[in-house]
Chains A and B, each alone.
Chain A
Amino acid sequence: MSTGKLSLTLKIWRQSGKDQPGQFKTYKLHDVNTHMSFLEMLDVLNDQLIRQGEEPVAFDHDCREGICGSCGMMINGQAHGPDNETTTCQLHMRRFRNEETIVIEPWRAKSFPVIKDLAVDRSAFDRIVQAGGYISINTGNAPEANSVPVPKVDADLAFNAAACIGCGACVAACKNASAMLFTSAKVTQFALLPHGQPERKERVLQMVAQMDEEGFGACTNTNECQAACPAGITVENIARLNREYMWATLTSRN
């Protein structure tokens, strides 16, 4: 692990509140250790800003292990930056060159309004889940776990879909700001499991309806979402969502 130092120019979107105008501000940062994570680099910038009496840059973050889904920003136009299957917190400064200019913006989508600087409101995702992203089972109702075998291949595919961290990169990367990848991952997880069958049709219909109501755009199959997804969720899930939706529309009794 050889250590390098970078000098960087950062162009960061600053916006004081939801309905306030925003603008890019330029900052210089020196002696950036290449082993730092991207968020640690922002920590160093914020430390510098506070010492200078300026307000630090607001950004959401929590686990810094790539699993909580809190962090996320457009880095040089790419959601979560240049690495594949990597959240912003897991991106490291060794991926950048000395003297590089890095442009940092919040997720861009009407359904994710900016709260401040790089922090956005993703509560629309919660409401999509509320519309049907669950199996209706009360505590205490469950049968013995091994009473329902699940073919391993289905269980593995369900797991792959369930790995979504809800960060919103798929929406931010999509030119239509579509939430199809997010929604399809949840629909897929339950559609593949025997436990999810009773509510299968209602689930997909309601979740899609909520997705539309939140103002997310339509899917035009450009696959940017898959490219940006840090959890490896594939567009195969979108295909399944479309099939599920079609089938439910044609056969639902409601």
Chain B
Amino acid sequence: MSLAEQDTFLTSSRHNSNAPSGPLESRWTKHKNEMELVAPNNKRKFNIIVVGTGLAGGAAAASLAEMGYNVKAFCFQDSARRAHSIAAQGGINAAKNYQNDGDSVWRLFKDTIKGGDFRARESNVYRLAEVSENIIDQCVAQGVPFAREYGGLLANRTFGGSLVSRTFYARGQTGQQLLLGAYSALMRQTSKGKVKMFARREMLDLVVADGAARGIVVRNLVTGELETHTAHAVLLCTGGYGNAFYLSTNAKGSNVTAAWRCYKRGADFANLCFTQIHPTCIPVSGDYQSKLTLMSESLRNDGRVWVPKNEHDTRPPTQIPESERDYYLERRYAKYGNMVPRDIASRAAKERCDAGYGVGETGLAVYLDFSRAIQEQGEGTITAKYGNLFHMYNKIMDQNPYKTPMMIYPAVHYTMGGLWVDYNLQSTVPGLFVLGEANFSDHGANRLGASALMQGLADGYFVAPYTVSNYLASNKLSEVKEDHPAAKNVLVDTRNYLEKLLSVNGRQTTDAMHRKLGKILWEYCGMARNAQGLQTAIKKIQDLKTEFWNDVKIMGSGEDFNQDLERGGRVADFIEFGELMCRDALAREESCGGHFREEHSMDGEAKRDDANFSHVAAWQYQGPDAVPIRHQEQLKFEFVTPSIRSYSE
């Protein structure tokens, strides 16, 4: 498909960012001051649906309930505490400047804008940096056991793309501890009856009535029953779409279904091609592999990345002398060394492996070596910092990283793209708010380490509660109940869809189909992309979609606990989604952040095209067989000047 066929490029009022104007430092405060408020007594008259109970969803549901709204919270896991935020390891950024190393809100803002390769809104990112401090306060007060110094104050460490120590952490389990904090707040509100918790429910569609999001249809995963829930606003906090690639560091259940169904109901999907390939993951070992495991970026604080200087060197790493090792990150990026941002570290690993210097059985791995750190700091210190990660590596690889370097390779980890939202986190469907990884907003084309937790909690605790209130206070919403025609139609659509899935009765398993999709995406829309490959991928995915609906085999019935059916629905959506991701990657004729187009590079580094692509691409659904419309939201840089992102000097 040529660009001409991709439909016209439009700039429209549909994607007004609604960001406030004026001095950057006071925009959020000014915006809050100008918002409409809901009277305390009226809050209990409003019902709010929150889908997903990770950092964004858990925090938002708890905070809105504390304010007095009636919240219904949904998750597909058996408990709200199991949302995938729990697996985040390394830490959370905040501009506290506790280390007296020159950090500030401004610097965190600037690092994040630059780290995102100048593809995020200044107003959003500044707000994120601004509320980062409140997040730490909130979490500590909830009893989150962050790492501390001997004096009893909070400890910090450094993450990629930054020259200051601003990352707060709880050993290698930061996500777990932050999520349990949000979960405990959520459970507190549940006990008060302000939150009604619906676990083991999967959102399958959005109810749009009179032009606004007014409810959802979910499947009770235990009984198979379809349920309609209505409310005055819907908050989608359902995470990213990394599992489109089949192999990723995401949890097995992480999926794009809820977001994709919202897209089909009018919520535009933005910047899908911005996917983050994390440099330090445990390499693929076999066809049976069900997921990839991340080794936290924090390891690069002390671990040194290298490959042998000789091609196809098969000696064990400990027998390769220092002089025959190529610490290629330190060589190429003198200033940041091993702490370059993720997209850069990943591409550098791929470059070395493609050139024949990779290690391990497959040649698709590089070393992450702790020998010097252990020598200098002692094994005890390294254990205290990374003990659980070393333990996990040992479990999976059956090798002791204290004695021999880890083998790592990049893997799909995080998705910067997501549903388009304005400054208020509202999508193109009024009343549908999108938080956390599920939206596209704050990380531009590449997310810096320890910023996902920050964004999820910022959106959930400190942004959405205000903007959702403002929406409720400034709109007159008529009553919508389960018997509203729009709700009834959506329920029928969902039932028909599930029946269609179950009736294909072909020969291939849902997993086999998913693996095929993953292979296409990894090959053509992975760490490096080009126009020809992406066109091939689009064709292959269209064929795969036909194959899926003719040949998938899903066991069991819809009226039961049926994990095969759950998988089937998710894979069907990933296939459709994958096609759009490739279209987005094809249309973006530049390299930036996680999106590397081979045609647009200079000396192996990404070549951005600010003249033509300094915009957000938001895709509007046009029906099952039509090509969606690609809209543009122009990005304005008033406070930082986009520059070539250099980490070498």
**B78 x A152 contact (CB < 8 A):** no
Does B400 sit within 8 A of A, measured CB to CB? no
Q: In the complex, which residues of chain B have a beta carbon less than 8 angstroms from the beta carbon of A1?
A: 285, 361, 397-399
Contact of B153 among A37, A67, A138, A146 (CB under 8 A): A146
Verify if B84 is at the interface (C-beta below 8 Å from A): yes
- Asked if A55 CB lies within 8 Å of chain B CBs, one says yes
The reply to whether A62 and B187 contact each other, CB–CB distance below 8 Å, is no
Contact of B6 with A by CB under 8 A: no
Q: Are A142 and B188 in contact (CB under 8 A)?
A: no
Interface size grouping (class) on chain A: 35 or more
Query: Pick the contact of A62 from B84, B199, B285, B555 — CB < 8 Å?
Result: B84
A135 and B79 contacting across the interface, CB-CB below 8 Å: no
B467 CB–A CB distance under 8 Å: no
Say whether A166 contacts B184, CB under 8 Å.
Answer: no
Cβ-closest chain A residue relative to B407: A1
Structural contact, B170 and A159, CB atoms closer than 8 A: yes
Interface segment out of the listed A40-48, A98-106, A173-181, A214-222:
A40-48
Q: Chain B's nearest CB lies how many Å from the CB of A21?
A: 16
In the complex, A125→B184 CA distance in Å? 12
Other-chain contact of B191, A65, A70, A119, A130 (Cβ < 8 Å): A130
A–B pairs, 30, beta carbons within 8 Å:
A33-B286, A50-B509, A55-B556, A60-B78, A63-B87, A65-B293, A65-B392, A66-B392, A67-B173, A69-B79, A70-B78, A70-B82, A83-B395, A94-B398, A116-B560, A129-B183, A129-B184, A136-B188, A137-B185, A139-B66, A139-B461, A139-B462, A143-B137, A146-B98, A150-B152, A159-B170, A159-B171, A162-B177, A166-B79, A193-B145
Within 8 A of B (CB), among A142-160: 142-146, 148-152, 155-156, 158-159
Give Cα distance in the complex from A55 to B557, angstroms: 10
Residue pair B152, A149 in contact (C-beta under 8 Å):
yes
Which residues 360-405 of B sit at the A interface, judged by CB distance below 8 A? 361, 391-392, 395-399
A70 touches B77 (CB 8 A): yes
A-B pair count, CB < 8 Å, reads: 227
- A170 CB, min distance to chain B CBs, angstroms: 16
Report whether A138 and B66 are in contact in the complex, using a CB–CB cutoff of 8 Å: yes
Collect the chain A residues with CB atoms within 8 Å of residue B177's CB. 159, 162
Give bound CA distance, A130 to B189, whole Å.
8
Chain B residues with Cβ under 8 A from A240's Cβ? none
What residues of A have a CB within 8 angstroms of the CB of B190 in the complex?
A: 126, 130
CB contacts (< 8 Å) of A146 on chain B: these are: 96, 98, 153-154
Q: Are B87 and A68 in contact (CB under 8 A)?
A: yes
Q: Does B252 contact A (CB under 8 A)?
A: yes
Chain B residues with CB below 8 A from A92, complex form = 395-396, 398
Looking across the interface, which residue of chain A has its beta carbon closest to that of B556?
A55
Given A1-B399, A135-B184, A139-B59, CB of A193 within 8 Å of CB of B290: no
Tell me how far the C-beta of A204 lies from the nearest C-beta in chain B, rounded to whole angstroms: 14
Which residues on the B side are within 8 Å of A122 (C-beta)?
78-79
Q: C-beta contact mask, A1-38 vs B, less than 8 Å → 1, else 0? A: 10100000000000011000000000000000101110
**Contact check: which of A33, A69, A155 meets B82 at CB < 8 Å?**
A69
A94 to B394, CA, bound (A): 13
- Shortest C-beta distance, B323 to chain A (Å), equals 27
Least distance between B157 CB and chain A CB atoms (Å): 15
Q: A92-B395, A159-B170 are in contact. Are A195 and B141 (CB under 8 A)?
A: yes
Residues of A within 8 A of B144 (CB): 162
* B321 close to chain A: CB less than 8 A: no
A165 in the interface (beta carbon within 8 A)? yes
Which of chain B's residues have a CB closer than 8 A to the CB of A193? 143, 145
Contact of B84 among A39, A68, A123 (CB under 8 A): A68
Check if B136 is an interface residue, CB within 8 A of chain A: yes
Question: Could you list which residues of chain A lie within 8 angstroms of chain B, going by C-beta atoms?
Answer: 1, 3, 16-17, 33, 35-37, 39-40, 43-44, 47, 49-51, 53-56, 58, 60-70, 83, 85-86, 90, 92, 94, 115-116, 119, 121-123, 125-126, 129-131, 133-146, 148-152, 155-156, 158-159, 162-163, 165-166, 189-190, 193, 195-196
- Check A134 against B78 for contact (C-beta < 8 Å): no
On chain B, the residues within 8 Å of A137 by CB distance are 138, 141-142, 185
Most buried by A among B134, B150, B197, B288: B288
Chain B residues whose C-beta falls within 8 Å of the C-beta of A121 in the assembled complex? 78
Q: Which residue of A lies closest to B397 (CB)?
A: A1
* Complex contact A65–B59 (CB within 8 A): no
Note all chain B residues with C-beta closer than 8 A to A65. 87, 293-294, 392
Contacts of A53 in B (CB 8 A): 555
Chain A residues with CB below 8 A from B511, complex form:
43, 47
CA distance A40 to B287 in the complex (A): 10
Instruction: Let me know if B546 is at the binding interface, CB within 8 A.
Output: no
Is the CB–CB distance between A142 and B143 below 8 Å?
no
**Pair A135/B399 contact, Cβ less than 8 Å:** no
Please tell me which one of the listed residues A139, A143, A196 contacts residue B62 in the complex, with CB atoms under 8 A apart: A139
Instruction: Report the Cα distance A69→B86, complex, angstroms.
Output: 10
How long is the Cα–Cα vector from A104 to B291 in the complex, in angstroms?
Answer: 22
B141 and A142: CB pair below 8 A?
A: yes
Q: Which of B63, B138, B197, B396 contacts A142 (CB 8 A)?
A: B138
Please name the residue on chain B nearest to A18 by beta carbon: B222
Q: Is the CB of A145 within 8 A of B509?
A: no
CB under 8 Å from chain A, chain B span 580-613: none
Q: CA A40 – CA B79 in complex, angstroms?
A: 23
**6 cross-chain pairs, A with B, having the tightest CB-CB distances, nearest first:** A149-B152, A134-B184, A142-B141, A159-B145, A142-B137, A130-B191
Contact check, A90 vs B392: say whether CB atoms are below 8 A apart: yes
| B153 → chain A closest CB, angstroms | 5
Residue of B nearest to A158 (CB): B145
Q: Is B289 an interface residue (CB 8 A)?
A: yes
Q: Scan residues 476-522 of chain B and give those whose CB is less than 8 A from a CB of chain A.
A: 507, 509, 511-512
